[in-house]
Chains A and B, each alone.
Chain A
Amino acid sequence: MTYSNEVLDHYENPRNAGSFSQDEEGVATGMVGAPACGDVMKLQIKVGKDGVIEDARFKTYGCGSAIASSSLVTEWVKGKTLDEALAIKNAQIAEELALPPVKIHCSVLAEDAIRAAVADYRKKHGEQ
């Protein structure tokens, strides 16, 4: 497998890797994928009182492209409202990282992780 420089950069220097405490104010977690499929992504967002995502963390079990996809979305969601974050599409992720066709599913999973994290936030805060 030959990786793009973008993937290699995120893989070698993952941004925002780690975890927030679940109990921390404004933190929501999205966990998607399954070990049997080769990828599990955990994306956490910390949402401020103004509804803007202040910070994000990820942990990913998966290939280089999966790690890079999740690392990239932690950067992208920061400073966005929940609706703006939901507007991030897998095609943008795939394009930014120059993912080959066999790795498109990694970007799809990253998009799913955003949705799951936002859904978790809205569930916790009684939003629809």
Chain B
Amino acid sequence: MVKLPIYLDYSATTPVDPRVTQAMIPWLTERFGNPASRSHAFGWEAEAAVEEARENVAALVGAEPREIIWTSGATESDNLAIKGAAHFYREKGRHIVTVKTEHKAVLDTVRELEREGYAATYLDVRENGLIDPDAFRAALRPDTSVASVMLVNNEIGVIQPIGEIGAICREKGIVFHVDAAQATGKVAIDLKNLPVDLMSFSAHKTYGPKGVGALYVRRKPRARLEAQMHGGGHERGLRSGTLPTHQIVGMGEAFRLAREDMADELPRIRALRDRLLAGISGIEATCINGDMEHRVAHNLNVSFAYVEGESLMMSIKDIAVSSGSACTSASLEPSYVLRALGREDELAHSSIRFTLGRFTTAEEIDYAVELLKTRIGKLRDISPLWEMVQAGIDPGTVQWSAR
């Protein structure tokens, strides 16, 4: 018997791995020192734990420990990277290049820079969600100082060609930031060989706790930033604030486990995802959003035509999934990511993001598939659009008299 609701929203957040919780608990108990306290052993042992965690985070992505800066999460990392670099290199130029399908943490940050007087280009993506490196190159200007492209898209799971993009940035002397919040433990990242200057990470998308993230800041060649949070000089002056030792330890352990388990875990999750895909393929009039080849193993984003998005979500309450990004799902706006792929609003509205993870089982997938078949069938039975389609009329050709 499966436990309901079935959690298929691992890209919104993951459960904390029980092994991670175990590693954190001592730091919530007797080991409560402030790592900045240099005057006693409570502080020193906390500092040592923070440094060990830094090594674990660095090791997963092929970085040096001193290239890792702790933050409160990937959103803060994105803000620090983009604003920090744009501000530091403001004399070089004030043009930013990013992509329409980036996370809001990147898009809103770039918008804020626009308000400060910077110019920005938001690149389109192809129908499969991937950016075209030639289009990227064409968007660059002599005054382009910073570019930001995510590694893995949070909604459709596509993997952007950041190696190619990074090479172009290197050639042009542009600081290159990559939001990798959705990528750790899902794709191999080797910053020794990737031409990336700044990279954002999150703990809670990789079985760590919420409230902690990191920013990779390359040392050779050195990427420079202006701090965005001041006071106390923590994290080499780049990010002030008392370090939450238990959360940092949790992130370190989560990233250590990701490095250890990735090779075994990904094929298993991919097989489950393919099982889901096979099940959904049995439902008529569906389409998969985003490239299936350049895509993480755990994501499936599907549009179900002729059913309305909100009632669809309402009818499948027994599976916890997202329609659009977790951060915008409270609003009724269709997903801007799917719109960027050229999906009409109706299809964007009736899309579901399934994201699987470490604790997903085959039984859960089978249950979800059955539920989808039944509920979508029921909604289509009462859908006038589906009725038209069955009668051979394309609702797209009908002259609607909307108010």
Contacts and interface: CB of A to CB of B under 8 A. Distances in A.
B190 interface: no
Nearest to A108: B403
Interface in B184-236: none
Nearest to B313: A1
A59 B383 contact: yes
- Interface residues on chain B, size class: 20 to 34
A42 B345 CA distance: 21
A35 B387 contact: no
A95 to B, nearest CB: 21
A105 B278 CA distance: 38
B381 interface: yes
Contact of B314 (A32, A42, A64): A64
A108 B401 CA distance: 14
Interface in A111-125: 112
Contacts, number: 75
Contact of A36 (B310, B386, B400): B400
A3 B387 CA distance: 27
Contact of A35 (B346, B401, B403): B346
Interface residues of A, number: 31
Contacts of A39: 308
Nearest to B344: A36
Interface string B374-403: 000000011111110000000100001111
| Interface of B (DSSP majority class) | helix
A17 B382 contact: yes
Contacts of A67: 311, 382
A42 B217 CA distance: 58
Interface in A1-56: 1, 3, 11, 14, 17-19, 31-42
B308 A62 contact: yes
Taking each of B314, B381, B387, which has the highest tally of chain A beta carbons within 10 Å of its own beta carbon?
A: B314
Contacts of B353: none
A106 to B, nearest CB: 11
Contact of A14 (B332, B344, B382): B382
B382 A3 contact: no
A91 interface: no
A63 interface: yes
B307 interface: yes
B7 interface: no
Given A36-B346, A112-B403, A61 B307 contact: yes
Given A17-B382, A33-B402, A62 B346 contact: no
Contacts of B386: 61
A90 interface: no
Contacts of A35: 346, 385, 395, 400
Interface of B: 306-311, 314, 332, 344-346, 349, 381-387, 395, 400-403
Interface of A: 1, 3, 11, 14, 17-19, 31-42, 58-64, 66-67, 102, 108, 112
Task: Please list the 7 inter-chain residue pairs (A to B) with the smallest Cβ-Cβ separation, ordered nearest first.
Answer: A34-B400, A34-B402, A63-B310, A42-B384, A59-B384, A17-B382, A61-B383
